[in-house]
Amino acid sequence: MLKTVAVTPFPGQKPGTSGLRKKVAVFRQSHYAECFIQAIFDVLEGAAGQTLVLGGDGRFWNREIVQTTLKMAAANGFGRVIVGRGGILSTPAASHVIRKYGAFGGIILSASHNPGGPDEDFGIKYNIGNGGPAPERITDAIHARTEVIDHYRILDAADLDIDQIGETRLGDMAVQIIDPVADYADLMESLFDFAAIRALIAGGFRLTFDAMHAVTGPYATEILERRLGAPADTVLNGTPLPDFGGHHPDPNMVHAHELFDRMFGPDAPDFGAASDGDGDRNIILGRGIFVTPSDSLAMLAANAHLAPAYATGLAGIARSMPTSAAADRVAEALGLPLYETPTGWKYFGNLLDAGRVTICGEESAGTGSDHVREKDGLWAVLLWLNILAARRESVAEIARAHWERFGRNYYARHDYEGIDGAAADGLIAALRDRLPTLAGTRVGDLVVAAADDFAYQDPVDASLSRHQGIRILFEGGSRIVLRLSGTGTSGATLRVYLERYEPVGGDLGRATPDALVDLIAAADTLAEIRSRTGRDQPDVIT
């Protein structure tokens, strides 16, 4: 039976960098999730009778919202919903399933790298028919709709069994439960030289993958252990848990410290990697080396031709603005266009659809290609393995050779988490006010060459996105970027991105903190970080 439920709008249902992310307690309020989901359905044109893909990273509240979404999709006229068994789909797998089955779009339930559990975070995002995150014009329309919504539609029906593969019906709508892993694993097998990777592993190459008790566990087990023949203990923390075992499923030095300890410890394996809550992020380590995400993008782009899918070369490379310029050097050397976009994978969608770029990446541990429209953690791991299998060199040797050819972009991001929102806004506003007068300012030995508030005009649809981060460029090519995160759920997170370029022939083997010490001091002087936030050091350095 179809029910129409009268509601009053909830304030603040504004999608951030990647969908709506809030504390579970917020989502548990009566009608809260329903209002947001109805707002999504209300702004979609032509969805009647179409297919929707549905899945999430398995965090606490995932199963409940899967049931709610199914009943609302049926009441809103969808013809079919394809659901990952158990309500599970990694973000890149969801993107692939949307594309493979020609779906109208998809709803992905995830707060990505944010912690999960009854007191932690949940999220809902909408992806369009190309498999990618909804662009700003759609997320803005969804937000506008949430502000005036006065009812939602839902089918009054019993919960469906979402744990058996097969097809059932909900009202007039078909519900198809699929294996969440198989399509994605097949896609990976079509892109990479699995025989070469299998031979590498069979020859004694040792690898470890930390799934962080998040969604990639079953994907990594199928691909690395079953299809590529890695030993059964290759995947660590491979069982997805609703609270990720009480940890942040955020692959960085702080939250994946076990992996870092192992890779920098005695008897380290040859290769280590981790992914995040919903499987779109990755970090890459070799024995005794961490490859920064910005460097990983550059190294993958420089070597992608070694994998079958990219053997004929790349169309172009895109990176988010705060990501280091390491990839720019590769693009220049290969004669490829390089696009600099705002933070957020959604900005890559048009470039990928238009065939302007093949590989994209972000400093926030995201890399991916035109095979889907999301960043893809296991894809990056497999491309690295394919390159290692082809080159038969260590990760450290590949990194060293890369820097000797292109120079090295020393790079770090300093995060100040959970700071007072007004203080964070004040810091950015004050800096913005001073932008016109910053050029020529001397800070220690550094001289500001230019400073601006990054704006991006999409070259495909000409849409303009303003206020995407403050850039302070110094003479000699060093750079500081400051922006506020759009993915947090408590207070504000200030991100400070620091970069120094060391050309070929320079000192390529420094410790990153040493190489950045003057930039760290300059960031504090120029942005008054300590005095405005009350913090004298960052919470997380990535």
Chain positions contacting ligand G16, by CB under 6 A: 17-18, 112-113, 276, 280-281, 320, 343-345, 362, 364, 366, 485-487, 495
Neighbours of 214 (CB within 10 A): 35
Of 219 and 345, CB closest to ligand G16: 345
Least separation in angstroms between CB 362 and ligand G16: 4
Strands, sheet with 121-128, edge to edge from the N-terminal-most edge strand: 20-23, 121-128, 105-109, 51-56, 80-88, 173-178, 166-170
Least separation in angstroms between CB 19 and ligand G16: 8
Backbone dihedral region for residue 230 (phi beyond 0: left; psi -120 to 50: alpha; all else: beta): beta
**DSSP assignments along 445-502, one per residue:** TEEEEEEEE--EE-TTT--EE----EEEEETTS-EEEEEE-SS-SSSEEEEEEEEEEE
Of 197 and 297, CB closest to ligand G16: 297
Tokens for 131? 């498999």
CA 341 to mean position of chain CA atoms: 14
Of 225 and 280, CB closest to ligand G16: 280
User: At 109, which amino acid appears?
Assistant: L
Instruction: Determine the Cα–Cα distance for residues 498 and 349; give it in Å rounded to an integer.
Output: 27
Helix, strand or coil, per DSSP, at residue 183: helix
Of 388 and 498, CB closest to ligand G16: 498
Residue 18 falls in the annotated catalytic set: no
Least separation in angstroms between CB 201 and ligand G16: 28
**DSSP assignments along 249-265, one per residue:** ---STTTTHHHHHHHHS
Least separation in angstroms between CB 26 and ligand G16: 18
Of 116 and 344, CB closest to ligand G16: 344
Of 38 and 112, CB closest to ligand G16: 112
Pair 162, 55: CB distance under 8 Å: no
Of 81 and 492, CB closest to ligand G16: 492
**DSSP assignments along 356-395, one per residue:** S-SEEEETTTEEEETTSSS--HHHHHHHHHHHHHHH---H
Tokens for 132? 């990618």
Instruction: Determine the Cα–Cα distance for residues 33 and 12; give it in Å rounded to an integer.
Output: 12
* Contacts of the segment 318-321: beta carbons below 8 A, 24+ positions apart: 318/348, 318/351, 318/356, 318/357, 318/359, 318/360, 318/361, 319/294, 319/360, 319/361, 319/362, 320/344, 320/347, 320/361, 320/362, 320/363, 320/364, 321/454, 321/456, 321/468, 321/469, 321/471, 321/481
Least separation in angstroms between CB 503 and ligand G16: 28
Helix, strand or coil, per DSSP, at residue 208: strand
Instruction: Determine the Cα–Cα distance for residues 501 and 475; give it in Å rounded to an integer.
Output: 11
Least separation in angstroms between CB 291 and ligand G16: 17
Of 113 and 213, CB closest to ligand G16: 113
Least separation in angstroms between CB 487 and ligand G16: 3
Of 90 and 320, CB closest to ligand G16: 320
Least separation in angstroms between CB 366 and ligand G16: 6
Alpha helical stretches, state H, 120-251: 136-146, 182-191, 194-202, 216-220
Pair 258, 227: CB distance under 8 Å: no
Q: 95, 112, 275, 364: which one is catalytic?
A: 112
Instruction: Determine the Cα–Cα distance for residues 499 and 522; give it in Å rounded to an integer.
Output: 12
Pair 124, 36: CB distance under 8 Å: yes
Pair 411, 294: CB distance under 8 Å: yes
Of 234 and 320, CB closest to ligand G16: 320
**DSSP assignments along 275-337, one per residue:** E-TTS-BEEEEETTEEE-HHHHHHHHHHHGGGSGGGTT--S-EEEETTS-THHHHHHHHHT--
Least separation in angstroms between CB 384 and ligand G16: 19
Least separation in angstroms between CB 281 and ligand G16: 5
Pair 30, 56: CB distance under 8 Å: no
Q: List residues with catalytic annotation.
A: 112
